[in-house]
Amino acid sequence: MSVNLTLLIVMGVLYACGIYLILERSLTRVLLGLMLLANATNLLILSTGGYAGLAPFFNKDTDPGAYNDPLPQALILTSIVISFAVTAFMLGIIYRTWVLARQDEIQDDMEDRRVAKTPSFDAEDDAVVPLETSEFALTPAGPEATTDSPATDPTERGTA
């Protein structure tokens, strides 16, 4: 199977531009980057499908290798639906930030900067763990050492 070089170059440019746009602070550019990545992924799936063949209708006279694989077409359709849903979600986020703040760019939050400056000490993860983590104390074995036996009660020793 030979892959079209032009298709690979277009796909690489779409991926590069999409990743560049996702790293921007503007939500509109992030949306455009996601759309470019979705289209590049559709081209990738299309190129994995191979060359166009016959429609996948069964005929006794047709060689099974001549049929076109319908799986990449189904995956592209699924990818289109998912990218449409992500685009609609991002448009909702962009609209909401425009209504609330009248700006499209994500600003640095002072709380984010404070959290970034704090050391990565976690009291639970960095605590000293004792060697013995069992909740049961080590006791000598034997019937006189157990507290649940009836012979340990001084009033019942004579009756046992």
Q: How far is it, in rounded angstroms, from Cα 86 to Cα 39?
A: 13
pLDDT of residue 11: 93
Give the integer Cα–Cα distance in Å for 142 and 6.
Answer: 82
Burial readout 44-70 (b: 16 or more C-beta within 10 A, e: otherwise): bbbeebeeeeeeeeeeeeeeeeeeeee
CA atoms of 130 and 90, how far apart (whole Å): 49
| Residue 88, domain CATH | 1.10.287.3510
Has residue 138 been placed in a domain? no
- The pLDDT score that the predictor gives to residue 15 is 97
Does residue 28 lie within any of the structural domains? yes
Domain region containing 46: 5-51+68-117
Q: Work out the percent of the chain whose per-residue pLDDT is above 70.
A: 69
* 143 domain-assigned: no
* pLDDT over 90 percentage in the chain: 35
Phi, psi of 105 (to 5 degrees): -90, 145
Per-residue pLDDT tens for 16-72? Answer: 999 999 999 899 999 999 999 999 999 999 888 777 666 666 677 777 677 777 788
Residue 20 lies in a domain: yes
157 pLDDT more than 60:
no
* Strand, helix or coil for residue 87: helix
Structure confidence at residue 72 (pLDDT): 86
Q: Is 111 among the domain residues? A: yes
**pLDDT given at position 60:** 76
Question: 105 in a domain, yes or no?
Answer: yes
Residue 82: helix, strand or coil by DSSP?
helix
128 within domain boundaries: no
Q: 66: which DSSP letter?
A: G
- 58 belongs to a structural domain: no
CA angle 59, 72, 37 (to 5 degrees): 160
CB atoms within 10 A of CB 42: 19
Say what the pLDDT of residue 114 is: 86
Which residue did the predictor score with more confidence, 34 or 109? Answer: 34
- Alpha carbon distance 87, 79 (integer Å): 12
Q: Which of 41-55, 83-97, 116-130 shows the lowest per-residue confidence on average (mean pLDDT)?
A: 116-130
Task: Give residues with Cβ within 8 angstroms of 48, minimum separation 6.
Answer: 72
3-state DSSP call for residue 138?
coil
Q: How many domains does the chain have?
A: 1
**Lowest mean pLDDT, pick from 4-13, 40-49, 51-60, 82-91:** 51-60
